[in-house]
Amino acid sequence: MEINTKETFAKKILTAANGYLDVGFTHSLNPYSGCAFSCRYCYVREMPMQRFKGIPWGEWLDIKTNAAENYRNEMIKIRKNNKPVNIFMSSATDPYQPMERKAGITRAILEEMLENPPDFLQIQTRSPLITRDIDLLLKLKDKCNTLVSMTIETDREDVKQIFAPYAPGIKLRLKALKEVHDAGISTQASISPVLPFTPDFPKVLDSRVDHIWIDTLSIGDGLMGKRSARLGMPAVFEEHGLSDWYQKNLHVRVENFFKKYFPSEMIRVSKSEAFLK
């Protein structure tokens, strides 16, 4: 898939947390606008930044070339007011999408964080590329609470191909998650959104994660399922004979299932428990 890429200068890089993130996070940080992974269920497709873009989601990417500089300047101002800084990176893109290999925007931000660390950083990605930055993450975790949250919405590659054909494979993500975990960095499996999985899913995550995060299309799209419905997700599930997995109480079933294998304190559910206290 061809992607329309351009370099941009962002006015700001830290955005005050609101809506879904307003449960403990103070800011979101998006090194890019747009996302090459182009997941079919992504709620950003229904947000103004995409609806008025004129280019299909997944076919455009803006590289915020001054992101690291902005971060440094904004953090200095925030710290003058002695305010806490709990960052979610990223809420509307993937900080480790393919272009990051060349552009290095996320790595540059992490380097700035070593000089001006937040109080808490959650990196949300579905890309094995994050292993490239283990060296920086090891240094950063000594300066602030750091959590690497890898999206693993299913353990079934066939299901992943239906909903996120351009995203990295599940086995590659699991391998990367274990590498990060074994390096001594706190890790989380973000089952977000929950897609149909096998009974062996918990076994696959064992020894790779410190936390498990459960989210669904009904409770995690920012509008209690309305965005997901507008994206046609109920029809996609039905088309592939998966309608039993598109239920409003799915998070309850999944939470109870995972609690059979993991301690309750390891498992959190959207939205009120989104922030790791």
- In the chain, the amino acid numbered 112 is E
3-state secondary structure of 269: strand
Look at residue 1 and tell me whether its pLDDT is greater than 80.
Answer: no
More reliable by pLDDT, 119 or 52: 119
Residues 146-202 pLDDT 10s: 999 999 999 999 999 999 999 999 999 999 999 999 999 999 999 999 999 999 999
C-alpha angle 201-205-211 in degrees, rounded to nearest 5: 120
pLDDT higher than threshold 90 for residue 264? yes
* Residue pair 268/212 in contact by the 8 Å Cβ criterion: yes
Query: Is the confidence at residue 89, as pLDDT, over 90?
Result: yes
Mean pLDDT calculated for residue range 212-237: 91
The span from the first CA to the last CA of the chain, in angstroms, equals: 40
DSSP track, 16-63: E--GGGTTT--EEE-SEES-TT--TT-GGGGSHHHHTTSS-TTSEEEE
Burial class (CB in 10 A: 0-12, 13-18, 19+), 1: exposed
195, 154 in Cβ contact below 8 A?
Answer: yes
Pairwise CA distance, residues 185 & 210, whole Å:
9
Position 225 scores a pLDDT of 86
The tens digit of pLDDT for each residue in 10-66 reads: 999 999 998 889 899 999 999 999 999 999 999 999 888 888 888 999 999 999 999
Residue-averaged pLDDT of the chain: 95
pLDDT band at 68 (very low <50, low <70, confident <90, very high): very high
Look at residue 221 and tell me whether its pLDDT is greater than 90.
no
